[in-house]
Structure 1
Amino acid sequence: MGKDPEWWTDHTAAPAWHSVPEPLTPEPPHGTTQPPAKRRRTWPYAAAVAALAITAAGIWEQREAGQQREERARTAAAYKGRSGAELSVDGVSAELVARWNGDRDRVVIELRTYADRKARYLRLDAAGESARATKGTDPWIAKTPEVAVPVKDPMADVTVRIAVGGATWKEGDQAPVRTVRLSPTGAAYDAETGEQLPSDL
């Protein structure tokens, strides 16, 4: 082997047979200095968002169904089977009364004026049924119009449209109209404003 101790030192720096070459990096496109970003998979994120949306919708639906059940339970507990409203229309004092039958499948609605002599025309419309009364030749009062309508849900309110003609009303005139919502709990509401109406019930 000789007397040259530095024979093992090679200054040419060639890669060793056991080394791995470094991976080549592509050149960035002209005008950019950053390497292109790796494309991420978006379907897992979309699936997660869809699952969250479905879960939220289910929770929302359950909460609304629970609130409706509670509302129906309160209505059932407060059920009276009768409702009424005191009204003053065209100078006439009138009372609108609804009575649910014992089977709770029908409601009878009346528009009463009692002894108010100013009442010349009364009309009542509910669920496709209507009744009317005029003073005519009777010097006292117009007769009480009455309708009986079937109901599918005994806890639901019944909406009634009334028209009342006072002392100045003549045949062919348009009478003032009110729309009232009658509840089986005894309450009555103006259907246009939502205001609760007075009642003697």
Structure 2
Amino acid sequence: MMRRVWAEAFGTFWLVFGGCGAAVLAAGVPDVGIGYLGVALAFGLTVLTMVYAVGGISGGHFNPAVSLGLAVAGRFAYKDLAPYWAAQVVGGALGAAVLFAIASGKPDFVAGGFASNGYDALSPGGYSMIAVLVAEIVLTGFFVLIILGATSKLAPAGFAGIAIGLGLTLIHLIGIPVSNTSVNPARSIAAALFAETGALGQVWLFIVAPLIGAALGGLLWKALLERD
């Protein structure tokens, strides 16, 4: 179990450091900033690379919602949820801490939102709480369906990481304007800890909605799609 927990911590560290790092360090650079597309690709690439690096050890969840969705679908033991969640939250927080240490080394650094998630005034597009809630539930549900399908026995072997990474990229392309895209409570908690906005007060939604969406995704897979 300890090897699996370490793998989840490293993977979630990389997801937060790489994905949020792209948003904080590179997205807004004048003339050469990577924008929404670059940030979406960064999040997808973090998952893709870690699935192949440590996914063979822990299953490559890097996300408390994914762990729950897999448990609901019968692909993961409920008894292992607590250590996985702890590793994911701690790993994500450490990733955000290292990112903050780097970003704050720039003379004119202002943490601002620090790639955190939000609704209403903290939504990039000003979307309402209900709109963000629906988006996070639906996007997380489909993310879990992608993972379950890509890792099923009926899927082509060896390509799961690519499908999952590209799936997360697409999810971010849809969700960044709405909520800055969470679909991952560990990622949301990590960024909110260092944000200078009211993100920490809104982080509850980005814990609850992804967990609901993931559970629904697991239920739908088990009831309607599972064949293996």
Q: TM-score, normalised by structure 2?
A: 0.19
Greater RCO structure (CA 8 Å; 6+ sep): 2
Structure with the higher fraction of residues in helix conformation: 2
Question: Which structure is larger by alpha-carbon Rg, 1 or 2?
Answer: 1
Structure with the higher fraction of residues in strand conformation: 1
